[in-house]
Structure 1
C-alpha cells in the first residue's frame, strides 16, 4: 500500500518537485503595473475649457459628489505618493493658476471661443452692432456735451444730480439694448465649486503622473480619483456639441 501511495505521488510530481497539475508556483501571474500613458496632462486640457463648460460641470458635481469611502481612497493615494502629488499640484498651478484665476480665465475663453465667433457672421454683426453703438454713444455723451454746448453759446452745469441721472439712465438704456440683442449669457461659477473642480483636475493629474511612471494603482482608487475629471470631460464635450449646432 505504501508502494502504491509512493507511486501516485511520483506520478503527481514533476522532476523538479512541482505539481504536474494545477498552477505552478514559478508560473504564477505577477501583479499588473500601469502602462505609461501618452498625451496631455488633465491640468493642461482643463486650461482650454470655457465658462459654460465649467459652470455646467460644477452643476453636475453638486449631485454627483464622492462618498466618504471614495474620499478616503483618494486621500490615501495622495498620502502614499507625496512627491507625485506635489508634482500634480505644480502642474495645476502652471496651467491653471489658482481656482479663482482658472474661473476668471474661463470667462475670457468663452468670449474668444463663442462670442467672437458670432461676430464673424453678418447676422451676428447686425445683432450686436446696435448695443455696441449705444455703449459708445453713452461713453461719449458727457464729452460731447462738454464741448458742444459752450460752442453753441450755452453754459454747461454738470451737477451731481445731473450726472447721476445721466449715468443711471444711460446704463439702463444700454442694458435694455443688449437684452434685446440677446447677447450670449455668461454663467456664474461659485468659487467653492470651482475649487472642487480644481481638486478633481489635480487628482486626475496625479493618476496620470503615476501611470507615466509605471506605478501600480488600485483599480477602484484609480476610478474614484478619475471620476470627477471624467464628469468634467463629459459635460464639456456635451456643451461644445450644443454650441456647435
Structure 2
C-alpha cells in the first residue's frame, strides 16, 4: 500500500474512532445526573471529540426571546461566558437557535452574524466556529458551539455530521434531565401536602399513579420515593411530623444552594 493509501486509511480509522466515542459519550450522558453536571460533561466531551480549543452550550429561555450560556469548557475567556444572556436574534448562537440549522464558519470576523462586541466582552475571540442546534420534540432547546479546531484551520463536513449525531443524543439527555428536575421539584413541594392527607386518600393517589401508563424509569424513581414517604407516615403521628421536618429542612437546604442537586430554585 502506498503512502497516500496509508494516510487515507488512517484518516478513516480516526473518523470511526471519533464516531464511536461520540456515540459512547452521548449515550452515557442519558444516565441520570444533576443537570449542570450533565451539561458540563456534554461540552467537555464535545471539545475532546472534535479536537476543539473550547466548547460552550446555551439553552433557550422559557420566554423564547433569549439564550443563556449554561456551561463552557474551562478555557480563559470562554468560561466567563457562563451566565451571559444573548437575544435570540443576535450572533451566531441566536441565528442557529432561530433557524434550527447548523453552521460552520472558518473566519468569524468576516461573518456579519458574528457578535464581535459580545466576544470581546468575554476576552476570547475565536477564529472558527461550528454551531449545532439542540432539538427535542421538533423544538430548539439550545445551541452547542465548538470553537477553533486544534489540528486544522477549520471544521469540516465530517465534523458537522458527527456533531449532529452528538447533539441529537445530547438534546434527548438534556430534555430528560429537565423533566426529571421538574419531577423532583414537584416531589419536594408536594410531599408535605400529601403527608398531611388522610391515609386512605394518599394510598389511593399513590396506587393510581403506580397503575398509570406512560411514565419513564425516572418517573418510577419518583414513585418509589413517594411510596417510601407513605410507608414512613403510616408508622405513626410522630414519624409523620419527623418526615415533614426532614423534608422541610432538605427543601430549605436546596433553596440555599440552587442547582447543587439539579433542582434549580424551588
Using the size of structure 2 for normalisation, the TM-score is 0.23
- Using structure 1 for the length normalisation, give the TM-score: 0.25
| Structure with a larger share of its residues in helix | 1
Greater strand share, structure number: 2
Larger Rg, first or second structure (1 or 2): 1
Question: Relative contact order (C-alpha < 8 Å, sep 6+): which is higher?
Answer: 1
